[in-house]
A and B are shown apart, each in its own frame.
Chain A
Amino acid sequence: MSDTNSEWPLWEVFVRSKAGLDHKHCGSLHAADARMAVQMARDVYTRRQEGSSVWVVRSDQIIASDPGDKDMYFDPAEDKVYRHPTFYKLPDSVDHM
């Protein structure tokens, strides 16, 4: 039947649920071009007012970290507890700083 070259490209969809919040990844869809991708994102992912704004980006344009590098990449932050406010024990009287 159809060969994969005739398939519409894949897009990732990001939805802002309401003003003031981040756009959040919510899924993907196939569309022939950007305008169609935005329209379809509206129909597929915001049928119940889940969004006030939609972003779409071609999936092949996303650069991701390698899951195989996860430990090497993210573990160095693990022992830097002094980056968190809870690391510092202060006298009770000023602890709400």
Chain B
Amino acid sequence: MYTQAMDTLREEGGQPVLRTAEEAALQQRFDQRIDAGDFIEAKDWMPENYRKTLLRQISQHAHSEIVGMLPEGNWITRAPTLKRKAILLAKVQDEGGHGLYLYAAAETLGTSRDQMLDALHTGKAKYSSIFNYPTLTWADVGAIGWLVDGAAIMNQVPICRCSYAPYARAMVRICREESFHQRQGYDSLLVMMKNGTEAQKAMVQDAVNRWWWPCLMMFGPPDDQSPNSAQGMRWGIKRVSNDTLRQKFVDAAAQQAAVLGVTFPDPDLRWNEESQHWDYGAIDWSEFWRVVGGDGPCNRERLADRVQAWEEGEWVREAALAHARKSELKEAA
């Protein structure tokens, strides 16, 4: 699963003001390493803005994985067969694992796990707004796998080459596992479209209708409205532009939809012989900003669920730590 390109939230600021000659030399060496395609490790010197940008992006990404467990977790107890339940459990467990890889990567930048969770729970940190949409039917689970994870993979593959090595390593691991997520979703929809009743086919089409536009928004605002993308590119954090990735996704999805036998809710979607790409209609960015801003269908519910899980787990965390300390004392005695 994935966080959308949200680091374009206009907070990045410009180049830091350099104070000393030593710092200027460090900055120059850092720039040279980035230009040479070197990886930056946790203990290497890095500009403060580079650190801040990464911390925000990686922690948002981690939050997205964890919050992303909620919409699908909604269907674990109601999966139609034991096979689908086992698959969904494995997928949701993967999302939890992905969150953990990413939190660990973000922690190397000098912020504790608890600080990051606190930022999520108090609403200071964002997560991908795709998870603020509800999963109304079983077909939504398949549509999330096919389209949401499909968009996530498009977004994530370039991050495997991110200049910050702990993030890149986490992404390599995630991408390796993510492919099954998309395939199982498509497979589940395919079964319904090929063998299902008319009502089941209509359910698939309805799910696709609801997820299509939010998925296109996952790639972030258009390039000409992403003023900080250039800095991300300069730093080797961002490798491919939002619009390029979005087009790649549309091209792939259009073909997959034809095989599946569903349509996308976009009358302007058509093959362009000249550009050799699929043209698509205008995206309603006011909806995107509304959901990012907190006013999506499930924002309050998702955050409340996370806060509740954290608070109800507090005694477990405390007890485990108390037990560990007591055992240590006993061993020492």
Contact = CB atoms under 8 A, between A and B. Distances in A.
Interface of A: 1-4, 6-8, 10, 26-30, 32-33, 36, 43-44, 47-48, 64, 66-67
Contacts of B44: 67
B113 interface: yes
B101 interface: yes
Given A27-B104, A67-B44, A32 B114 contact: no
Contacts of A7: 112-114
Nearest to B115: A4
B43 interface: yes
Contacts of A10: 107
Contacts of B170: 27
A33 B325 CA distance: 9
B113 A33 contact: no
B93 A47 contact: yes
Contacts of A67: 41, 43-44
A6 B112 contact: no
Interface residues of B, number: 30
A33 B323 contact: yes
A68 B132 CA distance: 44
Nearest to A36: B320
A90 to B, nearest CB: 36
Given A32-B324, A33-B320, A67-B41, A47 B97 contact: yes
A28 B43 CA distance: 16
Contacts, number: 60
14 contacts: A2-B118, A6-B321, A7-B114, A8-B317, A10-B107, A27-B104, A27-B170, A28-B104, A33-B320, A33-B323, A36-B320, A47-B177, A64-B43, A67-B43
Contacts of A27: 101, 104, 169-170, 173
Given A10-B107, A32-B324, A36-B320, A44 B100 contact: yes
A44 B93 CA distance: 9
Given A27-B104, A47-B97, A6 B327 contact: no
Contacts of A44: 97, 100-101
A29 B327 contact: no
A90 B307 CA distance: 70
A2 B317 CA distance: 11
Given A2-B314, A36-B324, 12 more contacts: A7-B112, A26-B173, A27-B169, A28-B104, A28-B107, A29-B104, A33-B320, A33-B323, A43-B97, A47-B90, A47-B94, A67-B44
Contacts of B210: none
A32 B104 contact: no
Nearest to A70: B44
B302 interface: no
B100 A1 contact: no
B104 to A, nearest CB: 5
Q: Which of A1, A33, A64 has the most C-beta atoms of chain B within 10 angstroms of its own C-beta?
A: A1
A1 B121 contact: yes
